[in-house]
Amino acid sequence: MRTFFTAAILLFSSFYLEADSIPAISVFSDSQEVGKAAAQKIADVIIKKKQEGQTPIVLGFATGNTPIPTYAAFKKLVRETNLDLSDVITFNLDEYIGLPTSHSQSYYSFMFSYLFDDLVASPTNPHGIKRENIHIPKGATSHEEDLSQEELTALAERFPDRQGTALSLEEQFWIAEQRANAYEALIEQLGPIDLQILGVGRNGHIGFAEPGTSFESTTMVAKLTENTRNINSSFFDGNVNEVPEFAISMGIRTILNAKEILLLATGSSKAAIIDEVLKSPISSDVPCTALRLHEKTSFFLDEDAAVIYKK
């Protein structure tokens, strides 16, 4: 038994050493320059895939303050170059459970406010992203009106004795899990994702894959840590009680299945975690270290985020 155990450790260690690599790192003067470079990267992927006849082009998007300059720069680039987005499919990393799409802090609202409102196809913008090709997990689960007819039918079959139009917590979690599974299946059907844009949390999370999340996790119902909720409370007028406790989030395996990954980090508040991600052992304690197992990952950092790493 000891010999087998030792051999297993040696085999794992060998794989670990071969797989671990430092991502390609580019450092820019500030967040605006990071945004311009990231926007150009997104455009280059779209153009290259089109030239190679590989359509649709599947992009993974993130939310939060970090990618806002990227989305602003990308919209400007699309306007200036008339970039055709009609073959683009998008998947967002995550969405809060419990927030309707109309909520000002839902990630649906975020993405349309900062990106899609100006890029979605319309009679005046025929080469925009088709609305049906924009995929963001649906978070609202509290009432029957939040569910599709298909979900209502499945709910009735799963909970035949339920009464009323409000969903119990058990029913809400069950619906969220079905949505997570369906989202993963859709990514598998339409993907793989050609380019996944990421940010990183101060505790090393990617999406809402928090510390301790398995590297084999796929799209899931994720519980937010108190650290994450406290940080995100700044978007909810500082009231942590308004921050949802759960989200539907891509898992780490889902993210690693992307053909290419681009992580963005800006500001001094990200300096410590970037240093840890790039220098510490690969571990689920710091989920972002999993990116070092991916053969085509780039980090775009500003000077403030790179300051500790560069020492």
pLDDT tops 70 at residue 10: no
Encode pLDDT of 197-218 as tens digits: 999 999 999 999 999 999 999 9
- For residues 22 and 39, the model is more confident at 39
List of domains in the chain: 23-306 (3.40.50.1360)
Q: Tell whether the model's pLDDT for residue 152 goes beyond 60.
A: yes
Backbone dihedral angles phi then psi of residue 149, each to the nearest 5 degrees: -60, -40
* pLDDT exceeds cutoff 70 at 7: no
What pLDDT score was predicted for residue 20? 77
Residues that are catalytic: 94, 203, 205, 210
**How confident is the model at residue 11, as a pLDDT?**
38
pLDDT for residue 17: 38
Is the per-residue pLDDT at 15 higher than 80? no
Q: Residue 21's pLDDT is what?
A: 78
Confidence of residue 6 (pLDDT cuts 50, 70, 90): very low
* Average pLDDT of span 133-138: 98
- Classify 93 as helix, strand or coil: coil
pTM above 0.85, yes or no: yes
* Residue 8 clears pLDDT 50, i.e. is over it: no
Q: 155 CB contacts (<8 Å, ≥6 apart)? A: 147, 162, 167, 171, 174, 175
Distance CA 282, CA 278 (A): 9
- Bridge partners of 198, per DSSP, are 263
pLDDT bracket for residue 311 (50, 70, 90) = confident
pLDDT of residue 19: 61
pLDDT for 2 beyond 70:
no
Q: What does the mean pLDDT of the chain come to?
A: 93
Average pLDDT over residues 15-31: 78
The first and second tokens of residue 19, run together, are 């797989």
197 phi and psi angles, rounded to 5 deg: -90, 135
Share of the chain above pLDDT 90, in %: 92
Residue range 24-50: mean pLDDT, rounded: 98
Are the beta carbons of 184 and 254 closer than 8 angstroms? yes
